Structure 1
Amino acid sequence: MLTGDVVTYTEGSGGQSTVSIEPAPRTGSRPVFETRSGPDGYQVIPSDAAPYLASGVVDPELFDVKELVKEGLDDASRDNMPVLVSYGGDVPADVISRSADALPASDRTVMLPTVNAAAVKVKRAETTTFWRALTAGTRAGTNTLGSGVTKLRLDRKVKASLDKSVPQIGAPEAWKAGLDGQGVTVAVLDTGIDVQHPDLAGRIADSRNFTSDPDARDGFGHGTHVASIIAGSGAASGGKYRGVAPGVRLLNGKVLDSSGSGQVSQLMAGMEWAAHAGARVVNMSLGGGPSDAHDPLSEMVDKLTAETGALFVAAAGNSGGIAAVETPAAADSALAVGAVDKSDRLAAFSARGPRLGDAMVKPEIVAPGVDIVAARAAGTNLGPVVGEKYTQASGTSMATPHVAGAAALLAQKHPDWRSGTLKASLTTSAKDVG
């Protein structure tokens, strides 16, 4: 764990879990370890770390051994622990950069100036050194750690969560009115885009890779599928699989790797880039687990929305449960999207509301997300393949770009509308499907 304590976690049959603990060396008394188990986690908390968790300075997920194993953050899977380090609101970006670089036993990977934070990877064999540097000379229970750090969070993973579907949302009527998204920039933050696909030729304005993959190409297939639901021309199908807003300019932000997953910090960096690059609409067909919106992704959405006016459209999630809307869709200003089938029936997999914690209404809108045929990235096998150029997929990931495309049509018609007005117009004019 981040304190240097070694915990061996075993999940037995029937959900019964056991742990054995090898404490890291301390100066002074030996800590007592408290275990807290539940359906969603198994926390092992050293007594000398407990006050930092209680004050909110340290994220309890850093001590949830069940979640760490699930995220592939156990010792056998990787040699570092990804952590988000936050600083006070008045700290300049260059000071944060120097401070993060100076943290021992770690390497800075991403700067996140919008939320005064940096992502670092703590070397597994030296976690004790990192922890001591941040807690030495501090009083447990206060609101700051050493080096001006105000919060430590787990840099957890996020994952990727048209034929009849496009007419289902009324896009052809908008086309007849002369709307196709021309002049509007939409960012797709996903697994990358196959820029050579005929349906997306000439639509990509810029690409940026935030992953460890060598470039922004789509090696998974999810991002290309999503992008073509928004902006596909249908060129490879004689117009049959045309997207909602085929006239938009696309920003291709690769925040998920070729396995369909990535770190929270990668997505946050992509969000900053997209909003500051002029995207009116940002599509995020991905999620990082159910949230009450008090998480880094939700906070980033709300800050960037207020700063730039961009509308972040995000997938509600595919767990199918009650109060299961995931981050970043859980953010106040995000437009969370659930999925319906071709008969406007809510899909069984679509995450339901309300939002965790305060029971805020989420998701705010639904769109087609079952058996959606759209562009297939070259060399990928996502979903049942429909010919060489197309594939079929289901999920709130597929519903989200339908709404992002509709938002782009509205943004074209109303160039002065910002996020809140676009969101309100979409939700108040949507068909009530119960």
Structure 2
Amino acid sequence: MAGTESSSTGRYLVLLEDDATVVGARELTRLAGIRTVNTADVVGASAAELFGAADGVVLNELGIALVTAGSDQASALSEAVRSSGPIAAFEAERTVYAIDDAAPAAEAPPAPVDGALTWGLQAVGVNGSTPTGAGVRVAVLDTGLDLQHPDFAGRDIVTGSFVPGEDVHDGHGHGTHVIGTACGPRTPAQGPGYGIASEASIYAGKVLANGGTGSDGGILSGISWAISNGCSVVSMSLGAATEPGQPFSQAFERVAQRAMARGTLIIAAAGNESSRGSGTIAPVGHPANCPSIMAVGAVDARNAIAEFSCGTVDQIGQVDLVGPGVDVHSSWPGAGSKSLSGTSMATPHVAGVATLYAQQHHERAWGLWARLAQKARRLPLPSTDVGAGLVQVP
């Protein structure tokens, strides 16, 4: 996400009140003449596929409508938010990005990867832990996965693409890398072990195109898919930059609350927009700045806050935990591996650890969040930078 800015796709998100998808769809038609299709009525079709047949799509699992609207229609829906009724919020759909590889501080030494496990796995305590995530479903929403990568042979993998015209194959690399950290092997054929939840069921959701961009609607479709499949954890190394004081998305916050009610914890990257060497700390990006989404910052092998890692600069978006995020070694398309830096790399460390807690303690949702925060390693750094501290395995 470094160097990107939030921009609108030209479509809108309409948040519907709890259990109001049917009456909400009727209200969209009555107020603005918008015809919608409900995903509950069409088996096996994504929101992107349904859009061609209507003015909007209601994601039934989430209580969100994604619509196209002219200026008069948008005005009518904005006005409806201020009235009593099924429409709770109305906001522009954003363009979102894979949070790109960020260059670490020049003075930071390369992180070691020549042992049995990467420095990141050692830092979170994997070398002394027995849980593997077996029996737990974890969704990683990103640019997809290289299904031919030999390090994932024989794994339980379920895929879904929410990008029009593209299958789940990762033509970018970002998705394969983050899935590797969250759920890859601890004993690959070559190199150090790099995967935390090495026996978890992988739900690889492609919500970003091979060029690394996507939209709120694609992310929400992926979240809906993950919830409907009973995933305990959703990992998202994606988003859009925010400005200080910019409010968080009401739609994503309510979705995160609804996901928690269904037993699904959403974990997202805080963003890479900071330049701490020059004194600039950027705020947590969208959608990680939502209170009910766990926001993850990055530290290096010396447990110093990463140069690029976004921080808590106001009370709108707060960093909740940090993970290893500098020179992180993981899988890469084409049977390879690669080291990258970013809060993108820190996030799957937290998601992988969350999966281990879900296995060992059968925790879900807020209970899982609480256990992650309570067991984190406290660091001698401001909580505005590292939240509760460095994530630790059971």
Scaled by the length of structure 1, the TM-score of the pair is: 0.69
Instruction: Say which of 49, 63, 72 aligns to 1:116.
Output: 63
Q: Is the 8 A contact 1:199 1:234 kept in 2?
A: no
Matched letter for residue 71 of structure 2: W
Shift in CA distance, 253/295, structure 1 to aligned 2, threshold 3 Å: same
Unaligned runs of 5+ in 2: 36-50, 100-112, 275-279, 382-394
Deviation string for 1:346-401 (max 9, x for gaps)?
A: 001000114544xx7x21211110111111113xxxxxxxxx61112110000011
Mapping for residues 73-152 of structure 1, pairs under 5 Å:
81-89=10-18, 91-93=20-22, 96=25, 99=28, 102-103=33-34, 107-108=54-55, 110-122=57-69, 130-133=70-73, 143-144=82-83, 151-152=89-90
Deviation string for 1:56-75 (max 9, x for gaps)?
A: xxxxxxxxxxx7xx7375xx
Task: Give the SS at the match of 2:357.
Answer: helix
Shift in CA distance, 140/200, structure 1 to aligned 2, threshold 3 Å: closer
Alignment partner, residue 419 of structure 1: 365
Alignment partner, residue 332 of structure 2: 376
- Distance of 2:74 and 2:7 partners within structure 1: 24
- Distance of 2:307 and 2:223 partners within structure 1: 29
Mapping for residues 259-298 of structure 1, pairs under 5 Å:
259-290=211-242, 292-298=247-253
Instruction: Say which of 236, 241, 250 aligns to 2:202.
Output: 250
Q: How much does 1:110 deviate?
A: 3.7
Q: Is the 8 A contact 2:241 2:273 kept in 1?
A: no
- Distance of 1:139 and 1:333 partners within structure 2: 24
Shift in CA distance, 389/142, structure 1 to aligned 2, threshold 3 Å: closer
Instruction: Say which of 92, 97, 111 aligns to 1:159.
Output: 97
- Distance of 1:234 and 1:198 partners within structure 2: 13
Q: How much does 1:427 deviate?
A: 1.5
Matched letter for residue 83 of structure 1: Y
Deviation string for 1:266-325 (max 9, x for gaps)?
A: 1011111102211111111112333543432232112211x2121111111111254601
Alignment partner, residue 7 of structure 2: 71
1:334 paired with 2:289, answer: no
Alignment partner, residue 315 of structure 1: 269
Q: Is the 8 A contact 2:24 2:87 kept in 1?
A: no
Shift in CA distance, 423/97, structure 1 to aligned 2, threshold 3 Å: same
Matched letter for residue 368 of structure 1: P
Per mean C-alpha deviation after superposition, the further-off stretch among 291-300 and 274-283 is 291-300
Alignment partner, residue 345 of structure 1: 304
Task: Give the SS at the match of 2:234.
Answer: strand
Shift in CA distance, 355/158, structure 1 to aligned 2, threshold 3 Å: farther
Task: Give the SS at the match of 2:259.
Answer: helix
Q: Is the 8 A contact 2:16 2:24 kept in 1?
A: no
Matched letter for residue 153 of structure 1: E
- Distance of 1:324 and 1:264 partners within structure 2: 19
Matched letter for residue 333 of structure 1: S
- Structure with more contact order per residue of length (Cα contacts < 8 Å, sep ≥ 6): 2
Alignment partner, residue 345 of structure 2: 398
Q: Is the 8 A contact 1:220 1:258 kept in 2?
A: yes
Shift in CA distance, 425/259, structure 1 to aligned 2, threshold 3 Å: same
Unaligned runs of 5+ in 1: 1-66, 74-80, 123-129, 379-387
Q: Is the 8 A contact 2:23 2:86 kept in 1?
A: no
Q: Is the 8 A contact 1:411 1:422 kept in 2?
A: yes
CA RMSD of superposed structures (Å) = 3.0
Task: Give the SS at the match of 2:55.
Answer: strand
Q: Is the 8 A contact 2:166 2:209 kept in 1?
A: no
Task: Give the SS at the match of 1:266.
Answer: helix
Deviation string for 1:176-214 (max 9, x for gaps)?
A: xx3111111110011111111112223343111111132
Matched letter for residue 348 of structure 2: P
Alignment partner, residue 141 of structure 2: 189
Q: Is the 8 A contact 1:230 1:405 kept in 2?
A: yes
Aligned positions, number: 333
Scaled by the length of structure 2, the TM-score of the pair is: 0.76
Task: Give the SS at the match of 1:155.
Answer: strand
Q: How much does 1:425 deviate?
A: 1.6
1:224 paired with 2:176, answer: yes
Alignment partner, residue 47 of structure 1: none
- Distance of 1:400 and 1:139 partners within structure 2: 34
1:241 paired with 2:179, answer: no
Q: Is the 8 A contact 2:329 2:340 kept in 1?
A: yes
Shift in CA distance, 95/372, structure 1 to aligned 2, threshold 3 Å: same
Return the index of the structure with the highest Cα Rg: 1
Q: Is the 8 A contact 1:190 1:222 kept in 2?
A: yes
Deviation string for 1:332-357 (max 9, x for gaps)?
A: 22221100011111001000114544
Q: Is the 8 A contact 1:236 1:389 kept in 2?
A: no
Q: Is the 8 A contact 1:159 1:287 kept in 2?
A: yes
